[in-house]
Amino acid sequence: MVPKRVLITVFDYIVITLGTLLFVMAWTSFLLPNNMIDGGMTGVSALLSMVTGVSVDIWYFGINVGLLILAWFVLGRGFGIKTIYSILLSTLLFRVLGSESMRFLWSVEGEVLYVGDGILVPIIGGLLEAIGLSLIILRGGSTGGTDILALIVNKFWPITIGRFYVMADFVVITLLIFVPGHCFTDVVYGYITMGVCAYVLDLITLGKESSVQVLIFSNQLQLIGDYITRIMGRGVTALKAIGWFTQEDRQVLMVMLRKIELTDLVKAVKEIDPKAFVTIVPANSVYGEGFDEMKTGLARKKKKKLNNK
């Protein structure tokens, strides 16, 4: 009988493979054939391909390998096998699906996937990309690229990972306007792709709740707490607790996060302490610094009262 752990691992890789296929198809079937891009290192690879004529898969592989090597020296940590697998598979699929022999899968005139309305192309591309990335992320994988670069930048520059993603994607897409043969319309399409992808990815991986409360039980709380405060830019509260079985005093970390930041935290905790115990509770409303502003209507009523005097 096959052990349950092996079956789970096999299932993980099957889902990651499917997710990687959908992710690459978003690019090779919809975005690239219509001269559109999204953000991230894949977007950088596409830009460099347009300028140099070197295929996207070569740039994609080279950039990710370079970032993995740089991260090894700068961060002193390795990245999961699932991430490396997804990068290698993506490179292969970019080569295969992006070849002229697979033109029947491109969204161009005369082919089955052709979309006549141009505005639908970035929407479909962003949707397909988000679904693919969600499958990869939910099974513990990653496509590398911006994830790695964000960690490297955060080591030297205090900027939250979520903010870095937005800034990086915005810059990459905007650079498309400087590529010969492209115009501002292509840039707008890129922003649409980015928005659709971010929204759907957020919706699938984290549900509709805007914030979450996380409790972390670990023997490496110092390292985890430092990561949350220094790299993610979030506050952490250490709660006193007693292990009922051992009757030993210990601490538990509590942190409130935007849902888009949760994946980064879970990944970091897993790398620091694979045996850590983490609980996540959706929070409908979180008010205070770094979250939503309390809106009770009192200020508005006070202003209205003064105006009536």
Which pLDDT tens digit goes with each residue over 21-31? 999 999 999 99
∠ CA 198-201-204 to the nearest 5 degrees? 145
Give the CA-trace dihedral at 77, 81, 83, 88, to 10 degrees: 120
Q: What is the pLDDT of residues 106-123, one digit of tens each?
A: 998 888 888 888 889 999
For residue 250, what is the DSSP state?
Answer: E
Q: Which of 130-134, 200-204, 276-280 has the lowest mean pLDDT?
A: 200-204
Amino acid at 18: L
The mean per-residue pLDDT over the stretch 218-234 comes to 88
Q: Is the Cβ–Cβ distance between 217 and 278 less than 8 Å? A: yes
In this prediction, residue 300 carries a pLDDT of: 46
Full-model pTM: 0.67
Q: Which residues of the chain form beta strands (DSSP E)?
A: 211-217, 237-243, 248-258, 277-283
Structure tokens at 155: 């080591």
Per-residue pLDDT, 165: 72
- Determine what percent of the chain is predicted with pLDDT higher than 70: 81
pLDDT band at 82 (very low <50, low <70, confident <90, very high): confident
Greater confidence (302 vs 135) lies with 135
pLDDT digits (tens, 9 = 90+) for 253-302: 999 887 767 878 888 898 899 889 899 887 755 555 555 555 444 444 45
Residue 141 pLDDT > 80: no
Report d(CA 41, CA 51) in Å as an integer: 15
Banded model confidence at residue 160, pLDDT cuts 50, 70, 90: low
pLDDT at 21: 94
pLDDT of 297 reads 47
Q: What is the pLDDT of residues 29-44, one digit of tens each?
A: 999 999 888 888 888 9
